[in-house]
Amino acid sequence: MTKCVIVTGGAGYIGSHACKALRAAGYEPVTFDNLSTGWEDAVKFGPFEKGDLLDRARLDEVFAKYNPVAVMHFAAFSQVGESMKDPAKYWRNNVIGSLTLIEAAVAAGCMNFVFSSTCATYGDQDNVVLDEESVQLPINSYGASKRAIEDILENFEQAFGLNSVIFRYFNVAGGDPEAEVGEFHQPETHLIPLMLDAIAGKRDALTIFGTDYVTPDGTCIRDYVHVCDLVDAHVLGLKWLEDGKGSRVFNLGTGKGFSVREVIDHSRAVTNMEVPYVEGDRRPGDCTKLVSGSERAIKELGWSPDRSNLTEMIGDAWKWHQTGHYEK
Ligand code: UFG
């Protein structure tokens, strides 16, 4: 019988790619999503169960219906700026919602949990390569909410034996090379989709947020990871748990950083079109440089982030952009 995995946020950007990878690996991905930021037409690889993480009865129903071997938990609000203006939204949905989900999983005897965390839990440690042992000092409510969920998972392991793999993402980019699913946020805040919109004339020029950082070209440096590599790591994490290897935290990045100007240069080369941009002020909350110490996932999980180069990430995002899904 096909093994089911509950995928919260399966109608969103990363969750929909995870469903495709799970399906390819022989699992049945069951999307649990309230469609607050996701899209029903992104649920293509398994059943859809509409529901809210705060609704324990609905969660219990879905666990009973599918008897899943694991949960992959992507559903969350994830905008740093918004989290500073409306912390309750982040604590209620991200933390209380996750707590409700974790309790429901344990009550149903589903003891394998894969959690989508973030490099934002490390906070502002500029110019340091961040590995899994780095201190976690989040500077925004989003990062704090994700760190709190990490703590809950640890406590539930101590109390009930819940096994978790926690992935701390760096900058996720790109899309399905077959363009069946892709990145689509409303509002969009991420660099690459905004840049492609500017290239295609769908938005005004891209604004570079700050050109006076202490980096070689004055713009911020980030570690970009291809969404397909990222979700492959999740499938490896699921197998790790099914093999009984126990709880573990992994960073997901490549260890290589690129500046905003370097991303612009690559976009010009990939699309063969000009990138209209203007230079603006710094965006509050942005760190100078966020680069992952990424060896653990490569060594222990056998992860190979082969597609995480800017040419492929921008190329695949551009392919999706040209399908017109952005016109929705
Ligand atoms: N940037 C611009 N102009 C834009 C948008 C972004 O110059 O219009 C710059 C940002 O200043 C940053 C880089 O492009 O230097 C990447 O910005 P994104 O908004 O694409 O991504 P962030 O690094 O801000 O965010 C990511 C994740 C968050 C996570 C955060 C941790 O998307 O979920 O890293 O800092 F919380």
Residues 36 and 116 both lie in one domain: yes
Task: Determine, yes or no, domain membership for 53.
Answer: yes
Q: Are 52 and 224 in contact (CB under 8 A)?
A: no
Cα–ligand 1 centroid distance for 106 (angstroms): 35
Residues 281 and 293 both lie in one domain: yes
Residues 281 and 156 both lie in one domain: no
Known catalytic residue at 90: no
Sign of CA dihedral 245, 14, 42, 304: negative
| Domain count of the fold of the chain | 2
Residues 142 and 211 both lie in one domain: no
Atom of ligand 1 at shortest distance to CA of 170? 34
Cα–ligand 1 centroid distance for 194 (angstroms): 11
Nearest CA to ligand 1 atom 34: 171
Q: Are 226 and 308 in contact (CB under 8 A)?
A: yes
Annotated active-site residue in 13, 66, 142, 224: 142
Atom of ligand 1 at shortest distance to CA of 263? 14
Q: What is the CATH number of the domain that holds 165?
A: 3.40.50.720
User: From CA 314, how far away is CA 200, in angstroms rounded?
Assistant: 14
Residues 152 and 240 both lie in one domain: yes
165-193 burial by CB neighbour count: b if 16+ within 10 A, else e?
Answer: bbbbbbbbbbbbeebebbbbeeeeeebbb
Nearest CA to ligand 1 atom 35: 120
Cα–ligand 1 centroid distance for 5 (angstroms): 30
For ligand 1, residues with CB inside 6 Å are: 78, 80, 118-120, 142, 171, 189-191, 194, 206-209, 220, 222, 260, 283, 286, 290
Q: What is the CATH number of the domain that holds 312?
A: 3.90.25.10
Domain residues for 307?
191-222+255-321
Task: Determine, yes or no, domain membership for 248.
Answer: yes
Task: Determine, yes or no, domain membership for 39.
Answer: yes
The per-residue pLDDT for 286 is: 83
Nearest CA to ligand 1 atom 33: 78
Q: What is the mean pLDDT of each run of 10 residues along the chain (328 residues)?
A: 97 98 98 96 97 98 98 96 93 98 98 97 82 93 97 98 98 97 91 96 95 96 97 98 98 97 97 97 87 95 98 97 75
Cα–ligand 1 centroid distance for 190 (angstroms): 6
Nearest CA to ligand 1 atom 27: 171
Q: Say what the pTM is.
A: 0.97
Residues 196 and 156 both lie in one domain: no
Residues 204 and 124 both lie in one domain: no
The per-residue pLDDT for 211 is: 98
Atom of ligand 1 at shortest distance to CA of 285? 35
The per-residue pLDDT for 127 is: 63
The preferred substitution site among 183, 222, 227 for testing ligand 1, maximizing ligand atoms within 8 Å of CB, is 222
Nearest CA to ligand 1 atom 36: 120
The per-residue pLDDT for 326 is: 58
Residues 217 and 143 both lie in one domain: no
Cα–ligand 1 centroid distance for 79 (angstroms): 10
Task: Determine, yes or no, domain membership for 185.
Answer: no
Residues 204 and 267 both lie in one domain: yes
Residues 246 and 264 both lie in one domain: no
Task: Determine, yes or no, domain membership for 328.
Answer: no
Residues 234 and 261 both lie in one domain: no
Cα–ligand 1 centroid distance for 222 (angstroms): 8
The per-residue pLDDT for 324 is: 80
Look up residue 93 and give its DSSP letter.
I
Task: Determine, yes or no, domain membership for 73.
Answer: yes
Nearest CA to ligand 1 atom 19: 190
Residues 33 and 158 both lie in one domain: yes
Q: Are 29 and 7 in contact (CB under 8 A)?
A: yes
Task: Determine, yes or no, domain membership for 238.
Answer: yes
Task: Determine, yes or no, domain membership for 88.
Answer: yes
Closest CA to 6 of 89, 137, 111: 111
